[in-house]
Structure 1
Amino acid sequence: MDFTSPFRVYDLEQPRYAGAPVFPSHVPGLVYSLHRRHEQGASEARTSASGIVFMAEHSGTHIDALCHQAEDMHLYGGQEVNLRVQTPTGFTALGVETIPPLVTRGVLLDVA
């Protein structure tokens, strides 16, 4: 693609919010909790609020990584599923971080 000429970018993200559409086996999809709040009488004039977001991977727009599906305990390309590859904190092979950014030409059809 020629990035020196003018172009438009269209964000195709499906926003995540409480009650957003989600596949039934992945309900609730998203849970948000405000765990730190602004409170009167704090020891300092400046206060902070902060939340926690908990959501299923299948909420909003997403791309399934190549480690998402296995057949007979083998991932894409024959990668064996074992404790080195599938860890308590995620996968060490074929994760979504290995997918390069998707930037391409497109055709917009206005069917309205």
Structure 2
Amino acid sequence: MTEWIELGAVTAVPLRGARCVNTPSGKIAVFRTAENQVFAIDNRCPHKGGPLAEGIVHGTSVTCPLHNWVFDLATGEAQGADEGSVRTYPVKVENGLIFIAPDVLIAMAAE
């Protein structure tokens, strides 16, 4: 059974916004949609390395602030004519707190 690591209160992530979590191998962007869904993806756009947590959240997508690439928050896949993807991470919300599985962080550190 996987033990989950608490990242903090869901309310610490604004609606249609994001916060970054530092890990041993980089930053993960944790997003909260207008519908209160929570997603986690790499914070680095594969196009030019833009900080996705600073992008615009719309529906279940985020637009990179540097060159307007759009990524699906659930799958990490680029949308429209853009190609590529960002890594996604499983998160859950319980009792108003966001959790991520530690095996995700361990796997990232090993890469």
Q: TM-score, normalised by structure 2?
A: 0.21
User: Which gives a bigger RCO, structure 1 or 2 (Cα 8 Å, sep 6+)?
Assistant: 2
Per residue, is there more strand in 1 or in 2? 2
Q: Which has the larger radius of gyration?
A: 1
Which is richer in helix? 2
